[in-house]
Amino acid sequence: MHNTPLSGISADTLNALLDDAFGADRRVRTAYLLRKGMAAIDHLSFGILDDDALVASIQCWPVRVGMANLVLVGPVAVASHRQNEGLGTQLMQLTLNAATPRDAPMVMIGDPEYYGRFGFEAKGTSGWTLPGPWEPRRLLLRNVEMIALPTHGMLGPTD
C-alpha cells in the first residue's frame, strides 16, 4: 500500500470509493453544501492505493465563517471491505503532517469520539450555523494556533 496525492486519481475512481463508503445519497448531506462549487485543496488531499486500487481517501476544502478562512476536512472515506484497518487514522495523519500555518484552523463534521484524538473538538463552534441540518456536537474545530475566530456566523464556501 502507498499514499498518493488525490489530484492523480480520476473523478470516477474517487466517486466509486465515496459511494461505497457513504452510499449514493451522500451528495445531499450538509458537508456537500459547504463545499459546493469549490476545488479540493491539493496539498491536503490524499488517497491510499493497494495494488493500484483506491481503498481510502481524504479531501480538504477552503471554507470560511464570517471573514475567517478555514479548512474543511473531509470526507475521510475508507472502502467498506477495508474499514477498521487504521486507514482513516493514516489519512488524518497525512493531512495534518502536510498542513502549514496557512492551513489553520481546520473544521469538520464528524464524530468527536474519533476525531478528538487529532485535536478536533466542538469548543468554539456553538454559535456557527450550517447551510443544512447538522448535530452541533459533531461540528468540530482544530485551532492549535488559537487564531481568533468569529463566535457567530454561517459556515460556507469561500467566495
pLDDT in tens, 88-137: 999 999 999 999 988 889 999 999 999 999 999 999 999 999 988 999 99
- CA distances to 42, 44, 75, 135 from 31, rounded to whole Å, are 18, 17, 8, 12
Domain hosting residue 17, numbered range: 2-157
Q: Which of 34-38, 125-129, 151-155 has the lowest mean pLDDT?
A: 34-38
User: How many domains is the chain built from?
Assistant: 1
Q: What is the CATH number of the domain that holds 20?
A: 3.40.630.30
Please indicate, yes or no, whether the overall pTM of this predicted structure exceeds 0.95. Answer: no
What is the average pLDDT value for the chain, to the nearest integer?
Answer: 93
